[in-house]
């Protein structure tokens, strides 16, 4: 398997936790649904969906990782909406199953959070080692990440310790790069902070502050550099027009190749 393939497989950390609203035929309809949602029975299966009224002229159905969303004109009755859902039941169920399988695939690429597990880190692979006698909570030693945890430490405890360490590394790594590229650009962000967003690698606000996802630390350094340059360039151009991309290119000449590389990573996370 390619290095990229391996990395991608290990990147579940960046994956979303999904619960698709699709219930088995024999199960009772859900008693508690998410706020503002409805439930319909399609071909014997209960499907939860969100309903929004709009000024559009037709009924719209969208299925993604959040489930089924229906948008309907204000003058359409609930019975008519349900008739459309029944008519398109096959498609709705097929799409929901596809998304559920997609979510399951991502779950399989999860970091195992146990002794000996591999954790992708800035283009390298670190191996977790639980060492009860070790001092300090986590310490990198070559390609080993030594964790001072009791022998019976649970997955959650291991995950917390490792992620805490990664966030600490992210602060130093991003801080150094933000300073370096800001000098090059001639503009610095008002402030920058770490984010744990499930759907964004980075963002830049109109007030000049930047947020960078600490999970980028699971990627090669060039991806970290690209995302930082992308967000810094927004300090000059808060859009994705030609001037923006020229600015990114001045900071990071290889941006096109790395941008394409980033697109091969889990597809539910974007950069803005
Ligand atoms: Zn952007």
Report if residue 210 sits inside a domain. yes
Structure-model confidence comparison of residues 29 and 147, the more confident one: 147
Cα of 141 to ligand 1 centre, how many Å?
36
pLDDT at 96: 85
Between 16-25, 43-52, 144-153, 169-178, the lowest mean confidence (pLDDT) is in 16-25
Cα of 180 to ligand 1 centre, how many Å?
19
Cα of 161 to ligand 1 centre, how many Å?
31
196: CATH: 3.30.2010.10
Residues 211 and 191: their CA atoms lie apart, in Å, by 9
**How many structural domains are present in the chain?**
2
Report if residue 8 sits inside a domain. no
Cα of 202 to ligand 1 centre, how many Å?
8
pLDDT digits (tens, 9 = 90+) for 74-103: 999 999 999 999 999 999 988 888 777 666
pLDDT at 8: 41
Contact yes or no for 154/147 (Cβ under 8 A): no
Rounded average pLDDT over 203-218:
92
Same domain, yes or no: 187 and 90: no
Which residue reads 């966030």 in tokens?
167
Q: For the chain, how far is it from start to end, CA to CA, in angstroms?
A: 31
Report if residue 135 sits inside a domain. no
Cα of 195 to ligand 1 centre, how many Å?
16
Q: 179-183, 253-257, 266-270 — which one is most confidently predicted on average?
A: 179-183
| Residue 24, pLDDT above cutoff 70 | no
Report if residue 119 sits inside a domain. no
Where does a domain end: 108, 140, 166?
A: 108
Same domain, yes or no: 250 and 162: yes
Same domain, yes or no: 159 and 101: no
Contact yes or no for 222/254 (Cβ under 8 A): yes
Report if residue 159 sits inside a domain. yes
pLDDT at 21: 47
Cα of 20 to ligand 1 centre, how many Å?
29
Residues 254 and 230: their CA atoms lie apart, in Å, by 12
Cα of 235 to ligand 1 centre, how many Å?
10
Cα of 229 to ligand 1 centre, how many Å?
10
| Residue 10, pLDDT above cutoff 80 | no
| Residue 180, pLDDT above cutoff 70 | yes
Cα of 170 to ligand 1 centre, how many Å?
20
Rounded average pLDDT over 242-269:
84
Same domain, yes or no: 80 and 175: no
Report if residue 182 sits inside a domain. yes
Measured from the Cβ of residue 206, the count of other Cβ atoms closer than 10 Å reads: 7
| Residue 18, pLDDT above cutoff 70 | no
Cα of 245 to ligand 1 centre, how many Å?
9
pLDDT at 219: 86
Same domain, yes or no: 77 and 172: no
Between 4-13, 77-86, 223-232, the lowest mean confidence (pLDDT) is in 4-13
Contacts of 250 (CB under 8 A, 6+ apart): 185
Ion ligand 1: protein residues whose beta carbon lies under 5 Å = 272
pLDDT at 6: 40
pLDDT at 129: 94
**Rounded to 5°, angle at Cα 14 from 13 and 17:** 80
pLDDT digits (tens, 9 = 90+) for 186-196: 999 999 999 98
Contact yes or no for 231/204 (Cβ under 8 A): yes
| DSSP string over the chain | --HHHHHHHHGGGGSPP----EE-TTSPPPSS--TTEEEEEETTEEEEEEEEEES-SS-EEEEETTEEEEEEETTS-HHHHHHHHHHTHHHHHHHHHHHHHHHHHHHHT----STT-EEEETTEEEEEEE-TT-SSSEEEETTEEEE---TT--HHHHHHHHHHHHHHHHHHHHHHHHHHHHHHHT---SEEEEE--SSBSEEE-TTSEEEEEGGGGGS-HHHHHHHHHHHHHTTT-SS-SHHHHHHHHHH-TTHHHHHHHHHTS-TT-B--
pLDDT digits (tens, 9 = 90+) for 120-131: 899 888 999 999
Average pLDDT along the chain: 82
Report if residue 141 sits inside a domain. no
Same domain, yes or no: 167 and 102: no
Structure-model confidence comparison of residues 113 and 249, the more confident one: 249
Cα of 193 to ligand 1 centre, how many Å?
17
Contact yes or no for 61/44 (Cβ under 8 A): no
Rounded average pLDDT over 259-267:
70
Cα of 102 to ligand 1 centre, how many Å?
26
Q: What is the pTM of this model?
A: 0.61
Cα of 87 to ligand 1 centre, how many Å?
40
Domain span holding position 175? 155-263
Cα of 204 to ligand 1 centre, how many Å?
8
Cα of 270 to ligand 1 centre, how many Å?
9
| Residue 199, pLDDT above cutoff 80 | no
Residues 227 and 263: their CA atoms lie apart, in Å, by 12
Question: HSE (CB half, 13 Å, CA atoms) of 72?
Answer: 17
């Amino acid at each position: 398997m390619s290095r990229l393939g391996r990395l991608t497989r290990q990147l579940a950390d960046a994956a979303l936790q999904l619960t698709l609203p699709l219930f088995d035929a024999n199960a009772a309809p859900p008693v508690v649904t998410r706020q503002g949602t409805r439930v319909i029975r399609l071909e014997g299966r209960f499907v939860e969906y969100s309903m929004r009224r709009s000024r559009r002229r037709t009924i719209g159905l969208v299925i993604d990782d959040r489930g089924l969303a229906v948008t309907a004109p204000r003058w359409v009755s609930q019975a008519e909406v349900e008739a459309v859902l029944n008519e398109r039941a096959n498609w709705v169920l097929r799409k929901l199953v596809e998304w559920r399988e997609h979510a399951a695939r991502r779950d399989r690429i999860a970091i195992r959070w146990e002794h000996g597990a591999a954790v992708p880190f800035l283009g390298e692979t670190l191996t977790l080692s639980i060492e009860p006698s070790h001092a300090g909570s986590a310490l990198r030693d070559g390609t080993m990440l030594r964790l001072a945890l009791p022998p019976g430490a649970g997955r959650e405890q291991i995950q917390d310790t490792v992620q805490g360490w990664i966030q600490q590394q992210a602060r130093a790594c991003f801080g150094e790069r933000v300073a370096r590229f800001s000098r090059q650009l001639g503009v610095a962000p008002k402030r920058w902070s770490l984010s744990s967003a499930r759907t964004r690698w980075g963002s830049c606000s109109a007030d000049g502050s930047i947020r960078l996802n600490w999970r980028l630390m699971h990627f090669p350094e060039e991806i970290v550099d690209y995302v930082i340059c992308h967000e810094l360039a927004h300090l000059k151009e808060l859009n994705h027009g030609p001037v923006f991309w020229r600015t990114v290119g001045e900071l990071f000449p290889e941006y096109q190749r790395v941008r394409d590389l980033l697109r091969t990573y889990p597809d539910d996370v974007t950069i803005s």
